[in-house]
Amino acid sequence: MNTVLVTGGAGYIGSHVVQQLVARGEHVVVIDNLSTGFREAVRGAELVIGNVGDPGLVSHVMAVHRVESVLHFAAHTVVPESVCDPLKYYGNNTCNTRNLLACCADAGIERFIFSSTAAVYGVTDNGVADEDTPTRPINPYGTSKLMSETMLRDHSATGAMQHVILRYFNVAGCDPEGRIGHSTPNATLLIKVCCEHAVGIRESLSIFGTDYDTPDGTGIRDYIHVDDLAAAHLCALDYLRAGGHSLTLNCGYGHGYSVREVINAVARVGGKPLNVIELPRRPGDIPMLIACSNRLKHVMAWQPRYDDLDFIVATALRWEQQLLYRRTPLPSVA
């Protein structure tokens, strides 16, 4: 049986994609170094522990498993960290992607789906981005992903492969059935941070920037449930298998929520107020970014199922409660 290779498949987004691939009968192998991923998040697929920047390992996996398509998630993703340590991001996100593409070329891989980001757009004129919006990243994370996009397009232009680039907006929530979720410690994604505070893991919650030119002064983002995003990857794989040509697609719902609106939603779903601290803006953050994702819906026939902020928050909060329960030691028996 031919195999789908998922790099970073033990991480937050990758593991949700693996779960959906396995559920529909795909044979999947995962390469992950477990730096931010978790062995137990890989459900129904073989896990190879290693780095996608290791050509020997990657080539061996491709040959042994007869890999026919690659979904590439492995990357560093924290914007403030990329500002402080840009070379870490260019090394892992850009250089390792180049090495992975070289292995694909050697193995004759014809289909490649790339996990990119809305950070490639930077600050747009009206806070909205479609796929033709100029790319002007303002942080090394966005730049590292844009450089990888360029390499992928140039490689595909030789006729070696077809690809789909998926530019994620703000991913949130967890598996609605509670089987897997976002477990990364010291996470920076807003909804996870809010939910950690709601269950008592964090003492407070910070808003970075209250003076943006937005209705309530806080940043606005387009939040997409991770299961809807995972489904977009399966649509992209089917599209390429059917002979589709290379293209780039935004992944978002087409509307946004402010930081304060998200905090209010977590307080509402969790049933208690949150301890909020207001701080100055962080380097690399932008005021507003909303997706225009009509192309994804029209070309891929993708339809979101979980476009509801309270539902997104509820799945994230339920996962944090599970994690807290696992960490809590059982009382000793006298």
Residue 325: count other Cβ atoms within 10 Å of its Cβ.
Answer: 9
- Per 3-state DSSP, the chain is made up of helix, strand and coil in percentages (nearest 5) of 40, 20, 40
Measure CA 220 to chain center: 18
Contacts of 169 (CB under 8 A, 6+ apart): 118, 221, 222, 223, 224, 250, 251, 252, 253, 289, 290, 291
C-alpha closest to that of 50 among 41, 60, 63: 60
Contact 38, 13 (CB under 8 A): no
Q: Catalytic residue at 325?
A: no
Q: How far apart, in whole angstroms, are the C-alpha atoms of residue 174 and residue 111?
A: 27
Sign of the Cα torsion 299, 6, 12, 124 reads: negative
Alpha helices in 220-273 (DSSP H): 226-241, 259-270
87: buried, middle or exposed (CB in 10 Å: 19+, 13-18, 0-12)? exposed
Contact 46, 70 (CB under 8 A): no
Strand partners, 112: 70, 163
DSSP β-ladder status, 162-168 and 111-117: parallel
Q: Which amino acid is present at 120? A: V
> Among all chains, which residue has been given the structure tokens 């004129």?
125
Residue of 12, 90, 121, 141 with catalytic role: 141
Contact 260, 218 (CB under 8 A): yes
Residue numbers annotated as active site: 141
